[in-house]
């Protein structure tokens, strides 16, 4: 059954690309030393050179300087460092107000909540029904004591892209730092920090067929930030801990492997899926119809519940995700679907499909057929939608 698995949960985790593994291997078995200073032994210097080359690859992909990128353990750590690090640097000096949105992913959302417990004030801005934040709303929310704006580049569930250039400009004009969680949009949607005035960007390898446990934070030169992990002086003294060199090398290789053609292919498969699934009666696409991640589709089916859909699809060898309360560890419906003004019912029957490199066009047709069948069967036993 594993051979036939159709995996459409690439926003959660991706299969490692073999080429990434090959690139990492030497740094696991041969050049396994710590990254030493330039006066260290040669194995350590080789390790350091690999780390710095990886850093440069990731920086180049953002239009940043190499010394503006630090490696972390993933997007959770990057976003924690961005929010808590700025709060620690500016909380006393400038103010204790942070602005974000209601639909952020958990690392930003819960870092903000943790800061609230320390006495910071956080404004959680509402977004429109398509998931977009109006830059005017952001402008209205800024106060003299606002120290940071944190707005995702793209949403993890519904895929909606934010107008980052406009939003970041609003913050810049008012002298407020701007962080964006680009975990899901990195390399799928262009972002050049020379054009978009963002100060901090969260990145992760796990969404790009890279290894687990490695991410990065872009920190624009001069951005005040207090490190949150104490220990050695690694990563420009902003993140203590032995560098994950195989991870960094793997991340860089993963970055090199993404091409515009691949994004086109993902978009084509996604469009074909959406077109097919919207033929199912009482279905709707969640998020923005066009301003969305090329690899994401999120569809609500009325009168049926997401976990039931998910389990039936699993039995047919298809892996997806749902925003249903029954599927969440807090038994609460997706805060994203509720955040775009959806009701519990819309979240209940929402299914997220996220594509990756290893999906094929043929799989799309199978998925459309199977989903339509599962939904139809579940509707037969539902008390709703019969009249």
Residues involved in catalysis:
326
CB nearer to other proteins: give 60 or 345.
345
325 scored as a contact of other proteins (CB under 8 A): yes
Q: Output the smallest distance, CB 361 to other proteins, in A.
A: 28
The residues, ordered by sequence, that sit 6+ positions from 74 with a Cβ below 8 Å of its Cβ are 204, 205, 206, 212, 213, 214, 215
CB nearer to other proteins: give 246 or 342.
342
CB nearer to other proteins: give 135 or 342.
342
CA distances in angstroms from 375 to 8, 166, 309, 324, listed in the order given: 17, 40, 7, 15
Which residue in 5, 28, 53, 315 binds other proteins (CB under 8 A)?
Answer: 315
CB nearer to other proteins: give 288 or 312.
312
Between CA 94 and CA 99, with CA 95 as vertex, the angle to 5 degrees is 120
Q: Output the smallest distance, CB 322 to other proteins, in A.
A: 10
17 burial level (CB within 10 Å; 0-12, 13-18, 19+): buried
CB nearer to other proteins: give 294 or 349.
349
Runs of H (alpha helix) within the chain: 18-24, 26-29, 42-62, 75-90, 106-117, 135-141, 164-173, 234-237, 245-257, 260-277, 306-315, 335-339, 344-348, 361-380
Q: How many CB atoms lie within 10 A of CB 99?
A: 24
φ/ψ bin of 92: left (φ > 0), alpha (ψ from -120 to 50), beta (otherwise): alpha
384 scored as a contact of other proteins (CB under 8 A): yes
330 scored as a contact of other proteins (CB under 8 A): yes
Q: Output the smallest distance, CB 238 to other proteins, in A.
A: 31
* Mask for 339-358, x = binds other proteins (CB under 8 A): ----xxx--x----------
327 scored as a contact of other proteins (CB under 8 A): yes
**What is the rounded CA–CA span in Å between residue 85 and residue 48?**
26
331 scored as a contact of other proteins (CB under 8 A): yes
* Mask for 283-312, x = binds other proteins (CB under 8 A): --------------------xxxxxx--x-
Q: How many CB atoms lie within 10 A of CB 194?
A: 8
CB 180 within 8 A of CB 164: yes
Task: Identify the bridge partners of residue 284 per DSSP, sorted by sequence position.
Answer: 300
CB nearer to other proteins: give 19 or 282.
282
* Mask for 141-170, x = binds other proteins (CB under 8 A): ------------------------------
Q: Output the smallest distance, CB 326 to other proteins, in A.
A: 4
Q: How many CB atoms lie within 10 A of CB 205?
A: 30
Binding site for other proteins (CB under 8 A): 303-308, 311, 314-315, 324-327, 329-333, 343-345, 348, 380-384
């Amino acid at each position: 059954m594993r051979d036939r698995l159709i995996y459409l949960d690439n926003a959660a985790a991706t299969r490692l690309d073999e080429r990434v593994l090959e690139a990492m291997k030497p740094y696991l078995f041969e050049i396994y030393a710590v990254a030493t200073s330039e006066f260290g032994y040669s194995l350590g210097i080789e390790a350091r050179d690999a780390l710095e080359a990886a850093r440069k690859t990731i920086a180049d992909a953002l239009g940043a300087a190499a010394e503006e990128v630090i490696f972390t353990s993933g997007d959770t750590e990057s976003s924690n460092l961005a929010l808590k690090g700025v709060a620690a640097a500016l909380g006393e000096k400038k103010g204790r107000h942070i602005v974000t949105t209601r639909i952020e992913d958990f690392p930003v959302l819960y870092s903000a909540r943790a800061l609230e417990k320390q006495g910071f004030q956080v404004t959680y801005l509402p977004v429109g029904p398509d998931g977009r934040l109006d830059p005017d709303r952001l402008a209205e929310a800024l106060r003299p004591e606002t120290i940071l704006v944190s707005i995702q580049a793209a949403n993890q569930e519904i895929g909606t892209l934010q107008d980052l250039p406009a939003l970041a400009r609003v913050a810049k004009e008012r002298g407020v730092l701007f962080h964006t969680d680009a975990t899901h949009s990195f390399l799928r949607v262009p972002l050049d920090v020379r054009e978009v005035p963002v100060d901090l960007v969260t990145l992760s390898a796990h969404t790009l067929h890279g290894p687990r446990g490695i991410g990065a934070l872009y920190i624009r030169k001069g951005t005040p930030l207090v490190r949150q992990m104490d220990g050695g002086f690694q990563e420009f003294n902003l993140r203590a801990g032995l560098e994950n060199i195989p991870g960094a090398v793997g991340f860089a290789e993963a970055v090199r492997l993404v091409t515009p053609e691949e994004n086109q292919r993902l978009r084509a498969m996604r469009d074909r899926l959406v077109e097919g699934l919207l033929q199912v009666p009482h279905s709707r696409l969640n998020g923005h119809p066009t301003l969305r991640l090329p690899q994401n589709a999120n569809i609500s089916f009325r009168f049926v519940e997401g976990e039931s859909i998910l389990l039936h699809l699993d039995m047919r060898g298809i892996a997806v995700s749902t925003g249903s309360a029954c599927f969440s560890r807090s038994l609460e419906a997706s805060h994203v679907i509720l955040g775009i003004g959806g009701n519990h019912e819309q979240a209940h029957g929402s299914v997220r499909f996220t594509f990756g490199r290893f999906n094929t066009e043929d799989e799309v047709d199978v998925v459309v057929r199977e989903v339509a069948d599962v939904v139809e069967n579940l509707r037969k036993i539902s008390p709703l939608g019969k009249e």
